[in-house]
Amino acid sequence: MSATIRIRMDSAMSFERPNISRMQGYAPGEQPNSPEIIKLNTNENPYPPPAAVSEALRAIDSADLRRYPPPLANDFRTFAGLIHGLAPDSILPVNGGDELLRLLLTTFVDSNETLAVMQPSYSLYPVLAEIAGCKLLEVPLGDDWTMPDDLPALLGEQSAKMLMLVNPHAPTGSLLPAGYLRDLAQEFDGILVLDEAYVDFIDPALAYDSIPLARELDNVLILRTLSKGYSLAGLRFGYGVGPPGLIDPMAAKTRDSYNTDHISQKLARAALEARDEAALTWERVRRSREWLRAELASLKIETLPSQSNFLLATIPSDVGAANLHAALKERGILVRHFDQPRLDNRLRITVGSETDNEILIEKLRDILR
């Protein structure tokens, strides 16, 4: 009996699929165990969600939780369609934007096909490719973080089935114009996924609007989330915007049944209805972003221009990004350090509240002295 048990225990590790056994999982930003920690490492909105979200939460009757929610969150789906000038069948509600990324690979990219991503970019993309077991093409950004001129040709040569672009880009915060994206989609034979997690923080003067691409082209899918702009990272609710030809297979075939719950559907609808109130926080973040960038520059810490709610800061070599990351953590401030080529001398800093930003600068002055 003991030998049988030992054999079964020894062979337990073989239950993983080989590609899962080989891979490294996604490493999320550190979560503090104290409310006193200033958290500037996961790009959350520093301000509360719209008041209507709290009102909607209080209005929820717990008795309604005994029933399954509407499978496709039709109330939210219809309202989001109205906002974007689209029919409901062009909207797919999901359990956080990451679920949409999984669905896209599951639905459209076979194991012998290729997902293309830029390098560097959102570090979850390669992890999802490994989980799906598909091929991965990582295309380096230029030395100045710009897109390569030969990208469409390269995608064609490698027969890429899908290209995932986060726009504004992470971790630099740079923005690709909608005109560039239209040209790219028209030259690309595969699916162009625009991950617009940070779209709400773009300067309105730029008049960025990618929704017409999803309305007019059959190969563009846009990811939107309520985690950042609407201060609902803890809710896990996002949605896809795209032509029915891309939305329908995910909605009808590969999506988990009842993938968004009753509470999140109610709160997500309330948040979108109060988008004018949420937009006030976006403007505060934009003002703080420019203030923080100027203050960092006064400390000889250069940052790239950003249209997101974070800054990518280059740390002087005599200080060291890893050292500065550790020193800030010792003083109760979390920022993000990526130990990988091209980013190991940089820190990504979320734009916090005015108070948090001031404390960050104060601590940095103390460390750098």
* Average pLDDT score over the chain: 95
* pLDDT tens digits, one per residue of 333-355: 999 999 899 999 999 999 999 99
Q: Do the beta carbons of residue 323 and residue 345 sit within 8 Å?
A: no
* Cis omega (within 30 of 0) for bond into 120: yes
**Cα–Cα dist 302/339, whole Å:** 19
Average pLDDT over residues 167-174: 98
**Cα–Cα dist 219/247, whole Å:** 11
Residue 7 has pLDDT above 70, yes or no: no
Domains, the chain, ordered by start: 30-48+277-368 (3.90.1150.10), 51-273 (3.40.640.10)
As a whole-number percent, the residues of the chain with pLDDT over 90 amount to 89
| Buried b / exposed e along 203-239 (16+ C-beta atoms within 10 A) | eeeeebebbebbbebebbbbbbbbbbbbbbbebbbbb
Among residues 149, 143, 152, 222, the alpha carbon closest in space to that of 184 is found at 152
Query: What angle do the packed helices 275-298 and 354-368 form, to 10 degrees?
Result: 20
pTM recorded for the entire structure: 0.94
Query: Which DSSP helix (H) or strand (E) runs through 239?
Result: strand 238-241
* pLDDT tens digits, one per residue of 30-42: 888 888 899 999 9
Residue 94 has pLDDT above 70, yes or no: yes
Q: Is the dihedral of CA 167, 357, 299, 349 positive or negative?
A: negative
Residue 2 has pLDDT above 60, yes or no: no
C-alpha distances out from residue 323 to 295, 312, 347, 349, 367, Å:
20, 16, 11, 15, 10
User: Beta strand 38-39 with 135-140: parallel, antiparallel or unpaired?
Assistant: unpaired
